[in-house]
């Protein structure tokens, strides 16, 4: 994943060069730019686990890009291609992602070089718990210092195992649940965390499409209804983003690209039906709701209104950038466009909604889970019934004054429970709207900023720099 060619930057190079472009437009105090850019620390560990009667050595990393705010935050991915360069790039993105959406964390990321499909559940549990112990021993796991979350190849199950390992080592830590986010609800997880990144993509697109002039800048008009969407990656993020856009916003999913090929249907693909087929068969081939094409990567070039890369980094490069035919690229994945390809997108007038904004839903809801764990109280517990009573009282007053009945659909909205899921979605929606307005202000307010990515970096860097200059010990 982090390999490069003569004509293409590595993922880490791309992040750093995009960062440099933004800092070049800012008046930062001397030396702050180097501090902001540098990765604070990287821990590389090799550890043995007994598998089928023999010891196997596993390689893992945890990078901390910034500790300007604590704890540092970021997911842990399991993949055969994981390496230190990739983890450092992801940790850097996390720093600026958290700053952009006003989540009070530093940036971190972890990875284990492993193909999870090659191990049984019991073996994965042993490997994961050993990895967690290794991280904890070096200060890379704990509710006040470093808080992992799920990423590619991991989920609630792995987070539960890591949380169990930490609690075993710290049985007297009352805040132990906050050492990990993305946990099952029974272990202190939060409603809405699984859907969070995909839901954030939807809310980010809502924020963009709420401004007709921004939509016009992409050569489009109107809302999301009827917009042709090409999706790459039907994992957790891609599935939820596309499902919400299709079922709630009326977008038309015209192609879905996966590892084994792509499904194309200009009349629209049912994401739920395709996902069920994928879970049953292991791929998209054989799905009867569209035409199968074995060369999935080529489908990135299919004409559409919105292209959503929701898989891996480095998918749009110098090799295919000139052939992309989307009006908007919505980066649901981290780093799907290389630095060089990003320059081509700007030249061609293709509007990119950047990763450090659009996929910030996961870390935002992780923040909600972390605060829930520290408060030891689920959201809505204190005021849920009070809000319900207030809504019913309002309805009674209106009906008494007017002598009529409140329409059932309006009554349903008024009495909607302020439960945890609704509160999480509300908080995420507000976060994405607020962040977009801050980005937009820089994008449209400065003559030297011509794209949303640079604007987003400027907003984030400004916030990080303020912490270094205003709250530094020295």
Select which of 73, 97, 109, 183 is catalytic. Answer: 109
Nearest CA-CA partner of 334 in 3, 156, 92 = 92
CA 428 – CA 369 distance, rounded (Å): 12
Query: Exposure of 57 by Cβ count < 10 A (0-12 exposed, 13-18 middle, 19+ buried)?
Result: exposed
- Cα 151 to its chain centre, rounded Å, is 9
Place of tokens 């003559």: 447
CA 223 – CA 99 distance, rounded (Å): 29
Place of tokens 């809310």: 203
DSSP state of 316: B
Q: What angle do CA 462, 361, 109 make, to 5 degrees?
A: 70
CA 229 – CA 216 distance, rounded (Å): 17
Residues in contact with 163: Cβ distance below 8 Å, sequence separation at least 6, in sequence order: 176, 177, 179, 180, 183, 187, 188
**389-412 exposure pattern, b = at least 16 Cβ within 10 A, e = fewer:** eebeeebeeeeeeeeeebeeeebe
Among this protein's residues, is 109 annotated catalytic?
yes
Under 8 Å between Cβ of 326 and 344: no
- Cα 395 to its chain centre, rounded Å, is 39
CA 450 – CA 473 distance, rounded (Å): 36
Helical (H) or strand (E) element with 7: none
Place of tokens 């977008």: 251
Under 8 Å between Cβ of 229 and 264: no
Nearest CA-CA partner of 91 in 115, 107, 72 = 107
Q: Catalytic residues, which ones?
A: 109
């Amino acid at each position: 994943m982090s390999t490069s060619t003569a004509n293409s930057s590595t993922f880490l190079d791309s992040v750093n060069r995009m960062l440099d472009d933004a800092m070049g437009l800012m008046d930062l105090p001397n030396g702050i730019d180097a501090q902001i850019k540098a990765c604070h620390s990287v821990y590389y560990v090799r550890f043995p686990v007994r598998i089928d009667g023999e010891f196997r050595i596993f390689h893992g990393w945890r990078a901390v890009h910034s500790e300007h705010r604590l704890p540092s935050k970021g997911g842990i991915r399991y993949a055969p291609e994981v390496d230190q360069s990739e983890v450092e790039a992801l940790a850097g993105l996390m720093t600026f992602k958290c700053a952009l959406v006003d989540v009070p964390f530093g940036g971190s990321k972890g990875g284990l070089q492993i193909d999870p499909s090659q191990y049984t559940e019991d073996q994965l549990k042993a490997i994961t718990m050993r990895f967690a112990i290794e991280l904890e021993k070096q200060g890379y796991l704990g509710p006040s210092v470093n808080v992992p979350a799920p990423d590619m190849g991991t989920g609630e199950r792995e987070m539960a195992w890591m949380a169990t390992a930490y609690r075993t080592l710290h049985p007297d830590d009352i805040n132990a649940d906050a050492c990990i986010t993305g946990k099952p609800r029974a272990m202190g997880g939060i409603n809405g965390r699984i859907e969070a990144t995909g839901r954030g993509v939807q809310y980010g697109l809502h924020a963009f499409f709420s401004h007709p002039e921004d939509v016009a800048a992409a050569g489009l008009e109107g809302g999301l209804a009827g917009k042709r969407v090409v999706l790459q990656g039907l994992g957790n993020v891609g599935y939820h983003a596309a499902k919400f856009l299709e079922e709630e916003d009326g977008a038309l999913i015209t192609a879905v690209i996966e590892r084994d090929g792509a499904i194309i249907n200009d009349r629209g693909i049912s994401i739920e039906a395709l996902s069920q087929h994928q879970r049953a068969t292991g791929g998209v081939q054989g799905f009867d709701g569209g035409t199968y094409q074995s060369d999935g990567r080529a489908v990135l070039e299919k004409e559409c209104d919105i292209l959503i890369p929701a898989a891996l980094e480095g998918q749009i490069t110098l090799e295919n950038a000139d052939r992309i035919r989307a009006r908007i690229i919505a980066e649901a994945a981290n780093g799907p466009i290389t630095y060089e390809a990003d320059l081509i997108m700007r030249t061609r007038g293709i509007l990119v909604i950047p990763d450090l904004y659009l996929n910030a839903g996961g870390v935002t809801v992780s923040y909600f889970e972390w605060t829930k764990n520290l408060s030891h109280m689920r959201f809505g517990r204190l005021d849920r019934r009070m809000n319900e009573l207030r809504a019913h009282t309002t309805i009674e007053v209106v009906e008494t004054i007017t002598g009529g009945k409140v329409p059932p659909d309006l009554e349903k909205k008024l009495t909607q429970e302020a439960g945890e899921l609704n509160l999480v979605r509300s908080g995420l929606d507000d976060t994405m709207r607020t962040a977009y307005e801050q980005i937009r202000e820089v994008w449209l307010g400065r003559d030297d900023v011509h794209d949303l990515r640079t604007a987003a970096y400027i907003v984030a860097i400004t916030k990080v720099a303020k912490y270094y200059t205003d709250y530094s010990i020295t």
